[in-house]
Structure 1
Amino acid sequence: MTPKPTLAVVGATGAVGSVMLQMLTHHADVWGEIRLLDTPGAAGSKAAVRGVECEVLALDEDSEESLDGVDLALFLVPEEVAARWAPVAVAKGAVVVDTSAAFRGDPDVPLVVPEVNAHAARVRPRGIVASPGCTTLALIAAVGALHAEFGVAELVVTAQQAASGAGAGQAGVDALRAQLGLVAGDGELGTQPGDVRRAVGENSGPFPGPLALNVLPWSGTAGEDGASSEEERVRDETRRVLGLPGLRIAATCLRVPVVSGHSVSVHARFEHPVTVGRAHEVLATSPGVVLYDDPAAGDFPTPADVVGTDPAWVGRVRRSMDDERALDFFVCADNLRKGAALNALQIAESVVTDL
């Protein structure tokens, strides 16, 4: 009998890593040994996988052997760590699935969302498969399904990103909770210019300003022509996953005071006429998508309702400005699950059949 492949989870103690270990406990048992790795500061701690407490091994210059014998490595770490260590894992014989931005733009690294382009993971010249960012993953299953039916021609998207999508994830959550503690109980805050900023003081964390009682129209670093890096990533990643390098996409990313769960307002124009009824049929039968769309009954997705779930939830589907080729809709997804851990695990499970 062929032994089951060895899996390494790199970044096992982080916010996404913790979700990944939960998922490995509940998904199909396709793995043999599961090895937990992290950067030196987290090494030596304990993390549970399959209900068993395991020691987290160090990933550093003196312990490259921690990757020996690994068949598939899930990298759930910042891009500078992935850029350094993913090639090492490949050189030792592993296939790498990386959730960071380190390889997403590399033409020799497929960018994969299994519901949309699973076939792309089969050709991996560098031995690496990249997973898109959490905002792209929130919208792409729904957009991909509609594209397959009607042919998408143009997208205008506005993303409302949760605090857990900032920085290392937990740092954003901790900063938001600290800020909420500082502003709670003051019924006057938010009524005068700058009063929330003064109340929060130096506790902005990874955000460019106060997030509590506020919305920040900026996410990422400065890009070209006034765009942010997050907005450029949504554009570039969506084009790559759909295989449409010339697709017109306008993206705006906002940071909102939500712990987990990204939301995206989407305006989509198609090559062919589209009806709400047919769009409902497509979305209701698409993998990775849940249609939840009866506003009169109060049925529409919100981050508070979908956090902790796997699919992308779609609602508020409607004809756009009487244009027979355009729709507007709203989509929510847990940015730590489908937006990171789940997509990476789905890629890994599809790749393992080739190992």
Structure 2
Amino acid sequence: MTATGSVAGFAPVRVGSVRGAVPSVPPVAGIEGRVRLRYPNRLNAMALDPSKVLPGAGSYPAGELVFVTDLFTSVEVQGTASGDGVEITADSARPVLGRHAALLMRQVLGLTGGMRITIRSHPLPPHVGLGSSSAVLSAVAAAINELCGRPLDHRTLMRLLVDNHGEEIDGNDDEIMPVQCIGGSAAAGLVPGAIQVVCGNAVALLAAPAPAGHTIVLAVPPDLRSWDASESLRAEAENFDGFLETGRRYAPQIAYRLLHECWPDLVTGTPRTLGQLVFDYRFEMGSIRNCAFSHPRLLEYAAQVRQLFESGQAAVLSLSSVGPLFFALTEQPDAVAAGFEAAGLTTFRAMPWDQGYLIDECTVKRHARDG
């Protein structure tokens, strides 16, 4: 796929190309060692202003509300002083994204030597709402940053990841599609807090633990499709007018309610007010209708599962990103799972996670800088 494969204002870029501001750090002359870490996956409950996810100049200040889970993307990076290449092991998930993140970090850090990378991702296919693409990019970049002694602070790394986000194009290992990125997936591992608000240009503004005793129940259609970034963007582009209209009509209300009503209740342990805003956004303000392209039965599923919030069984009920993954934060996981399954959805569970990424091993044999 070449530039002629542009979709709705998005054009492919070469794997490893650097976009946006480049952080200024002393170059890393070479490293030897190994880092193994686990990076949490997020659920995107809502955009604060969905009109800002339309094609622009590479920045998408839509803001988002995210729930961080204990579903992890695992990465191992082995650095060697010899060689100058990036090897992604044959059994790795999402190798193109892993190579993009590694080449990006090599250029930004002036890193020499070779590295061998293994990636384990959640078995759900891409583009269902779990943020797996961003989690892979973030996990690889965070592991390399750790291996080099953290030359990039977390805010700088988050900005770099947002500016250089992209997703795979089927049959093309040399280019990625730079689709919209708001920052929640990177923040999930870089900022402590199970519930987070990312505002403006990828600034993690608010973070709080999840209320005690709550579980996350996730639900997906049994016939998930696997489609690449170009396909999903084409489908999404047909609904950009809906995203624009929802943002124009409701963004001020969303921001006011989130700041003055929902967050004060949340920090005192009461998530229902936040749940009402998310429910209104998804089910009443047009969000699920705008996202109906993600699955042919999405509106049907939504009509069947909305009662999980209306009955009080779920404190929060939402689609994640554009779907088709639904999720609920609940103190009644068995009842909520049964409700999802009665609608024909397949369920699994997670717990809220508020500790950022986990380092399982970090052994740096040599860490030298030049200059």
Structure with bigger RCO (C-alpha 8 Å, 6+ apart): 2
Is the pair's TM-score, using the shorter chain for normalization, greater than 0.5?
Answer: no
